[in-house]
Structure 1
């Protein structure tokens, strides 16, 4: 009895030490696993290894040797996978079911290492979920995405998952177009994975990223956006701090209290336009310029800026504004609210902002732009008063911002030197000739280069702007009375900026380039029609890229 009593504490102490050692080993394994931070890519690679895929193929398919040293050689890859497998098996023994633990111990005893099937591997990975590190914004994209995709993302300066989410939110639905060989299918898969990881990343992928589209326009753009005053939007549920809900005029909705239906400045006389609120009045005014697209675009920009400022930042309807409000808007133009400024996006994008940031990062408008905005508003208010929608013009007494007009000499330095112009023309001729005789797609290249040559020579000889060259027509190009039969002189009549008509000369080299371009379009440049003039655009697309936007533009121009 004494001996048994004396040996019992020693036995208990030995068992306790063994248990503590086993617990310490378990904690060490868990800590090691968490420090390593195995990702979903590692689990996929290990599954392939369990299915007897060669380590060299696994390294090439799932890892980047430049960033993953364990994938540099097949031997290193196999060591890494075996170490990971041992770690997961230890975790499965500690946290898995008794049946799984017995199966693993029996396999180790018989074969010296666990031999897993697809089913037992799934059970092991489920039991060892704590080995999988959750994605973090600072994790490199290569830790979670395939090496090829990660390399292409890094080529655009996207190194981490946080930068990838920011890039998608900044670019919108077409974020993938600037990344080589990332098509719509891969982009949707990436965005789908990012959406599933939003809780772990604590980042949100905007709703219109990878949204469904119709004719190239996201369906999310069909919904109206109701703008509310800034102080009210902060109390709204789900409001994004520091971000305002803004929308262009065609998607704009205003609460009834700020719609101007009961505005203080409404005229008591009979109104000449059918306008129940301020948005109706704004659209009626802009409808006057429906046949002047450039003017319509400029006035729309100024009025929607003013209307958004009045409702969101001033908390007033347009027909409730007074002189002090218009003076405040003039000061606002000097330094717009940063939430009103952003990168250039399509008008249907939720990222659209009324003011576009300049290339140097400045958010302030030039003095000339401020003056133009004030004058455009004064003219609009005058018209609303004339049609008896408003009783008075609050902008009438607002002075124009001071703008200093500097003398600008002709910028001769912007013209190409004669020697460089000759080299450009020679290079164009050489490209056209080389494309004609080249293999493969030489014919298509020749068509494109002849179109380029015709456009550049037409603009270079005649000093046309891009829009003027695009709108130039064959019926407006004819021989001049100053030429002779032996040496004809051709001239082109165009309507340019400010609806000013002018006539410009066209050289013989440009005529030759235009004839070749028309031949590529299957048209006769010198052919006569019933009215003795060939008709049609001087320049036209020969090959239209296979994109929705290009096809819509091409179909409209053709």
Structure 2
């Protein structure tokens, strides 16, 4: 394991003498251990580096005092310690005991009763130490005012961070202190990309940046203003509203935009996941309208729709949550982070559907989204529209099965082997796999089928190939079950405890662990590609292999439970490796 390079002299000599440096010297003067203070104020993580860093910093600050002709320069870094075993100073003891309200004579009497009578020599020593500390504090304040450099958000990180850390954060696009502060304020696991950093070290670095820029808070999302403006711009008198009682029947009784959105969700959302997605996108658009455009949803026009598309492409930092706060509570914001191109497309599709429904219900007079070009194209950093790129190649699939065959006969490995074999042979969605029961399997003259209640609340019969049934019989036997003895409601995918089924999160985490372990023998490029795979790749693999072997599109569409044939048609585009080989065969073959 590579070790972090130790702090060298230049690491401290090149740092700016900012307020953090003088805060460290004051803390050490008050008795804070050097290692603890260096970690808190100088962002030095390793305790064995703290003494040398402290010594070099003392030399730099003392040199400032010498150049100014100040005879007190020797006080910089001087440790004024009470002899071991001596009682604490009277003032410190009074404060620690909470005796501030007592008279001085009473305090002295209690102190002497606790620690005994102080000798004249001890009294003189304490008075001398108190004077030295006062001179030391005064000197550090004067030197900070004379030589201290206050940090600015526009300062480059060079000079404020150690060179090794500076080099790392610059590779992440962090050039200034403002960039680093914005990355920290965005919340979440903002330290990803910093080697050997975790939550503890990240919290210390965040406190260090806060020390440098204490008066530069990030703009927060206006929770209070949002509540007030939502009431003001309710849409009850929206410019695009169809007047009630005019032009015949209306399809909703909604009196304002919020009620109209709830009516749309109730009428069109077919699953809890769709309800959540529709509510999220509608709320974001309404909040953007009232806060950024000072209008209601039912006032929005084509210009607003176009501006919202630009907003989604680059969501401002203040619209991104920095805390795990409840909705509309301090620290909350409508977005959890910047949106991917796929998330932007999903948001626009939901809003177009919302406005189209409101027009059909005669709540709105027109749909401004039809006047806007909503095409976003492909992600320039993505894989394009090649859905086959999210399927395991034959080489990767062989590596996965070989690993499961050799990984050992444990309940976890037996379960994951069945998941891979069954899901890739049937093309089930993860939710459908979790919901499958023993009683849903049926024998027919043509073979086995699985009764599925899938997306859109639609029922379908999915053929189960012999290989998948063989894996199922073996998996049930490993759980002490058979098709004949198992109760019809027994989940096909069982928990490791032997009781009940599993949830999506447990299945997702188990598959993620499998992916990390199974592909170590693949070439580097292929391994990087499959490391981002998920459970849904098994469904893509099923569809891609079926298309490559000539399964007719209508059969595959029915098998997958897809309502739009255009979605199924995407699987009939050959995987990139097969296209490359085909071109090699044509253009590189000998004449």
User: TM-score, normalising length from structure 1?
Assistant: 0.53
Residue 490 (structure 2) pairs with residue 535 (structure 1): yes
Contact 1:135 1:197 in 2 (8 A): yes
Give 2:367's match in structure 1, choosing from 392, 395, 403.
395
Question: Where do 1:281-296 residues align within 5 Å?
Answer: 281-289=260-268, 292-296=271-275
Aligned to 1:260: 235
Give 1:165's match in structure 2, choosing from 181, 197, 208.
181
Change in Cα spacing, 1:158 to 1:533, as seen in structure 2 (3 Å) is same
Contact 1:492 1:503 in 2 (8 A): yes
Contact 2:440 2:451 in 1 (8 A): yes
Give 1:374's match in structure 2, choosing from 352, 355, 378.
352
By how many angstroms is 1:426 displaced?
Answer: 0.4
In structure 1, C-alpha distance between the alignment counterparts of 2:37 and 2:211, rounded to whole Å: 26
Alpha-carbon deviations, 1:520-546, whole Å to 9, x = none?
xxx54437678x425236265879xxx
Residue 401 (structure 2) pairs with residue 425 (structure 1): yes
Once superposed, what is the RMSD of the aligned Cα atoms? 6.2
- SS across alignment from 2:355: helix
In structure 2, C-alpha distance between the alignment counterparts of 1:43 and 1:152, rounded to whole Å: 26
Residue 482 (structure 2) pairs with residue 526 (structure 1): yes
In structure 2, C-alpha distance between the alignment counterparts of 1:404 and 1:256, rounded to whole Å: 33
In structure 2, C-alpha distance between the alignment counterparts of 1:51 and 1:90, rounded to whole Å: 27
In structure 2, C-alpha distance between the alignment counterparts of 1:139 and 1:379, rounded to whole Å: 51
By how many angstroms is 1:307 displaced?
Answer: 3.3
Change in Cα spacing, 1:541 to 1:330, as seen in structure 2 (3 Å) is farther
Alpha-carbon deviations, 1:167-222, whole Å to 9, x = none?
1122x2554577677565655555455445434xx5324669xxxxxxxxxxxxxx
Alpha-carbon deviations, 1:357-394, whole Å to 9, x = none?
4469xx9x66x9867743441212323x3xxxx4x633
Change in Cα spacing, 1:274 to 1:410, as seen in structure 2 (3 Å) is closer
In structure 2, C-alpha distance between the alignment counterparts of 1:193 and 1:351, rounded to whole Å: 25
Change in Cα spacing, 1:123 to 1:414, as seen in structure 2 (3 Å) is same
Alpha-carbon deviations, 1:328-353, whole Å to 9, x = none?
45655665576757798799574535
Aligned to 2:141: 129
Aligned to 1:494: 452
Change in Cα spacing, 1:63 to 1:403, as seen in structure 2 (3 Å) is closer
Change in Cα spacing, 1:83 to 1:261, as seen in structure 2 (3 Å) is closer
Change in Cα spacing, 1:183 to 1:80, as seen in structure 2 (3 Å) is closer
- SS across alignment from 1:459: helix
In structure 2, C-alpha distance between the alignment counterparts of 1:40 and 1:328, rounded to whole Å: 48
Residue 286 (structure 2) pairs with residue 307 (structure 1): yes
Question: Where do 1:409-424 residues align within 5 Å?
Answer: 415-424=391-400
Change in Cα spacing, 1:378 to 1:414, as seen in structure 2 (3 Å) is closer
In structure 2, C-alpha distance between the alignment counterparts of 1:355 and 1:64, rounded to whole Å: 27
Aligned to 2:426: 462
In structure 2, C-alpha distance between the alignment counterparts of 1:449 and 1:206, rounded to whole Å: 49
Question: Where do 1:14-33 residues align within 5 Å?
Answer: none
- SS across alignment from 1:254: helix
In structure 2, C-alpha distance between the alignment counterparts of 1:515 and 1:142, rounded to whole Å: 64
Higher relative contact order at CA 8 Å, sep ≥6: structure 1 or structure 2?
2
Alpha-carbon deviations, 1:308-346, whole Å to 9, x = none?
465445544345x4xxx5444565566557675779879
By how many angstroms is 1:447 displaced?
Answer: 5.4
Give 2:217's match in structure 1, choosing from 204, 217, 232.
204
- SS across alignment from 2:450: strand
In structure 2, C-alpha distance between the alignment counterparts of 1:498 and 1:338, rounded to whole Å: 30
User: TM-score, normalising length from structure 2?
Assistant: 0.51
Change in Cα spacing, 1:451 to 1:329, as seen in structure 2 (3 Å) is farther
Change in Cα spacing, 1:518 to 1:258, as seen in structure 2 (3 Å) is farther
By how many angstroms is 1:127 displaced?
Answer: 1.3
Alpha-carbon deviations, 1:261-300, whole Å to 9, x = none?
3456441489897755322232233233565234434543
Aligned to 2:93: none
Change in Cα spacing, 1:190 to 1:258, as seen in structure 2 (3 Å) is same
In structure 1, C-alpha distance between the alignment counterparts of 2:351 and 2:263, rounded to whole Å: 19
Contact 1:59 1:77 in 2 (8 A): yes
Contact 2:476 2:482 in 1 (8 A): no
By how many angstroms is 1:81 displaced?
Answer: 4.5
- SS across alignment from 1:504: strand
Contact 1:226 1:253 in 2 (8 A): yes
In structure 1, C-alpha distance between the alignment counterparts of 2:255 and 2:481, rounded to whole Å: 54
By how many angstroms is 1:503 displaced?
Answer: 0.5
Change in Cα spacing, 1:117 to 1:511, as seen in structure 2 (3 Å) is farther
Give 1:37's match in structure 2, choosing from 17, 34, 52.
17
In structure 1, C-alpha distance between the alignment counterparts of 2:34 and 2:278, rounded to whole Å: 66
Aligned to 1:5: none
Change in Cα spacing, 1:206 to 1:174, as seen in structure 2 (3 Å) is farther
